[in-house]
A and B are shown apart, each in its own frame.
Chain A
Amino acid sequence: MKLLDLTERLGLVSYRNQAKSDIKPHITVDTDICNSTCPHKCTTYVCPANCYTMDENGDVHFQVEDCIECGTCMYACDQGAVDWNYPDPETGRGVTWNFG
């Protein structure tokens, strides 16, 4: 069986407000903390949807669009950089599982 890469996997996920460009992020990340004092930058590998990425300079960036609301980053970040919430059904991007 062919293995799927993460983009293909996320392509199977149904999101709300998919067409909206002005969604309100439900997670805010203080990347200044990630990029100054964090010793591990673990969100860049523990997030199952790869919402946290690292650029060639080693700086952490965050995008909420692919978030599947699992909560991993809320626990994994022990530096106080992640402010986690659930998406607003009207203005947020949240996930809708077909199987769950």
Chain B
Amino acid sequence: MDEKFDCIIVGAGIAGLAAAMTLARNNMKFLLIEKGEFAGSKNVSGGVLWGSDLAKLVPEYWKEEDGGWERFINHRRLTFMDEESTFSVDFKSSHFNETPYSGVVVLRSKFDRWLAGKVQEEIDNSDYAMESFIATNIKVDEVLMEDDKAVGIRTGDEEFHADSVIISEGVNNLLTRQVGLQDDYVPADHMLTGIKEVIRYDQNVLEDRFQLNGLSGMSNEFVGYATDGVEGGGFLYTNRDSISLGLVAGIKDMREKEKSPHDLLNTFKQHPVIQDTIRGGEVIEYSAHVVSSGDKRVMPKELYKDGVLLCGESANLLMNAGKAIQGMDFAMRSGILGAETIVKAKERGDFTSATLKEYKQALADSYVMKDINNFQDAVHMLHNPTMIQDVPNLICDFGRKFFTIDNEPTKKSRKLMQESIKKHSSYWDLMKIGFKGAKSL
């Protein structure tokens, strides 16, 4: 193929598909390249897609009988865990039953494939119905650079040329490194391994056990014993007839503490509360993938250079500030904003940094970078050992005493809390966390 595209997108994950959708709607001629057999076949997430950007991308997506998503979230739970107990903050509200939903659980192999179908519909409706493509089974070996400007890609012996390239290859960002936007070696300090099982149930059992109604669903995050002292946390999300259960564990911390992620997952599953939760289920898939922590120190040096933009996890756009683990929504918004910048570049006939820097500004003006910037303290705090171990331990210790009735004179809660703090932490450590916490959230 000699013809030149307006844009080549590398990677048909959420960022790449959102970019492709935006380009198709703006009548751009593009090529979306995916190394897997189909969009989503290489992708893993927990995971909940938060926010309402999906409704902008696929209006009234919830009306489809079998959309790519599993369940909408109307039940949130944050669980502190010690070896024997769990103490949860639990919020459920029919307020969240309204569309557009504020979060939907997805399984990427299904969701991305469905979204790719929607993108293909937009391509078919565009001026370039016959000249824009989603191409799968192709591994991009190199982004072609001429005078330090991206001009296309190479796969094997074949080259495809374009005025611009959007790199949305995910967190293992080899092309990002190749074009010089990130160092060749990224240390493990702010990277975690996500590890997950999809566990299937009889649908009635699932709906009864998690109090699900129709397509409503629950998200549950875990801190403390879940990761057995390793930086990170656990998660449980309800799918249609299964749950996604897993952990994220800091790679550097596992290295130093000599822990193995699949052992950690078994320890988590053996916790008495989790055992009760997963009883009767059947594991149907085991998966793992690296995620970034949301610490800005791991982000690429820059998000663009002449002819090329970084979207989604290839730019390490992901964050857990304690309220939710967000990444797929960041991917979607960054893909949209990246593609909008490419549309502008075509209008101006200028695909250099002079135009592409507007992507960085658009991202900075959006909730994505605003949240990443505003919640850095929370990200640091969540990865602090006091927060990972001492706080869950003392909360569970307090809970055990608070809820124990033994027909002896009962101590006031304040006294119980003092004892738990003394046993598991110190006022000084908690004050530090408290000050930081008040500031960071």
A interface residues, Cβ below 8 angstroms from B:
1, 3-4, 6, 9-10, 12-13, 16, 40, 42, 45-46, 48-50, 68-72, 74-76, 78, 80, 84-90, 94-100
Q: List 11 A-B contacts (CB under 8 A).
A: A12-B285, A48-B288, A70-B44, A75-B188, A84-B174, A95-B42, A96-B41, A96-B42, A97-B41, A97-B287, A99-B242
- Determine the distance from Cα of A96 to Cα of B42 in the docked complex, in whole angstroms: 6
Is the Cβ of B41 less than 8 Å from the Cβ of A100? yes
Is the Cβ of B260 less than 8 Å from the Cβ of A45? yes
- Determine the distance from Cα of A85 to Cα of B402 in the docked complex, in whole angstroms: 53
Is the Cβ of B36 less than 8 Å from the Cβ of A42? no
The listed residue with most A CB atoms (<10 A of its CB), out of B108, B138, B259, B288, is: B288
Of all chain A residues, the one with the shortest Cβ separation from B279 is A1
- For the complex formed, measure the closest distance between the CB of A16 and the CB atoms of chain B, giving whole angstroms: 7
Of all chain A residues, the one with the shortest Cβ separation from B113 is A100
- Determine the distance from Cα of A62 to Cα of B118 in the docked complex, in whole angstroms: 41
Number of CB contacts from chain A to chain B under 8 A: 144
Interface check B254, CB cutoff 8 A: yes
Q: Which residues of B contact A86 (CB under 8 A)?
A: 35, 139, 172, 174
Is the Cβ of A46 less than 8 Å from the Cβ of B193? yes
Given that A3-B269, A71-B290 are contacting pairs, would A94 and B42 also be in contact in the complex, using a CB cutoff of 8 Å? yes
Q: Which residues of A contact B281 (CB under 8 A)?
A: 1
Contact of A48 among B112, B185, B262 (CB under 8 A): B262
- For the complex formed, measure the closest distance between the CB of A1 and the CB atoms of chain B, giving whole angstroms: 5
Interface of B is mostly: mixed
Task: Please report the total number of B residues contacting A with Cβ < 8 Å.
Answer: 57
Of all chain B residues, the one with the shortest Cβ separation from A46 is B254
Contact of B172 among A3, A16, A74, A96 (CB under 8 A): A74
Of all chain A residues, the one with the shortest Cβ separation from B47 is A100
Q: Which residues of B contact A46 (CB under 8 A)?
A: 193, 251, 254-255, 259-261
Interface check B410, CB cutoff 8 A: no
Contact of A76 among B44, B45, B107, B188 (CB under 8 A): B188
Is the Cβ of B290 less than 8 Å from the Cβ of A78? no
Is the Cβ of B269 less than 8 Å from the Cβ of A48? no
Interface check B65, CB cutoff 8 A: no
Interface bits B232-273 vs A (CB < 8 Å: 1, else 0): 000000000010100000010011001111100010011000
